[in-house]
Amino acid sequence: MTTQEIKTEGLKWASENGCQMYVVVKNGEYQWWMISEKTGKHMVSNKGKYGQAFADERVLSHWKGFKQNQKRTEKKDTQTFDIFFNDDNNSNNKGFSISLDEAKNYIQTNNGTNESYFQDYKGGTVSIVCNETEETIFETIIF
């Protein structure tokens, strides 16, 4: 569905943080459309409850994540990131203050090599952590 069709056919259920959530009845199910100019649209469907639209835990979880992504998009130009290495016994970080793209590239380039901590933490995890919020943005197994 296009954004215009969603807004025309749907009922606005919520609006917050530059996002809107609409519910559209299609083929006997409720489609929960989350719309934002920054990140586009996302849909989750369910069967409702007692024959009526019902935003269950799954729908609300997606809505919460969708709204959080707006904040992440707003801040990504000012945030810096570090690389953390973890296993069952140890943890180290690089002390970086780099962009998210640089952090992703660093992991993609070096995972599976003997570069830096990648050799020491094989089988553990490598993560990208925001220096400002301490939020883990990405995590993967070191191979």
Check: CB of residue 13 under 8 Å from CB of residue 23.
Answer: yes
Length of the chain equals 143
Residue-wise pLDDT tens for the chain (143 aa)?
899 999 999 999 999 888 999 999 988 899 999 999 887 889 988 888 888 888 888 899 889 888 888 766 555 567 899 999 999 888 999 999 999 999 999 999 999 999 989 999 999 999 999 988 888 889 999 99
Chosen domain end from 75, 103, 131:
75
Of 51, 75, 99, which residue is a domain's last?
Answer: 75
Measured at the CA of 65, the angle between CA 109 and CA 110, to 5 degrees, comes to 5
Structural domain that includes position 98:
81-141
Total of domains in the chain:
2
What pTM, to 2 d.p., does this model score?
Answer: 0.50
For residues 107 and 139, is the Cβ–Cβ distance under 8 A?
no
Residues 91, 124: contact at Cβ < 8 Å? Answer: no
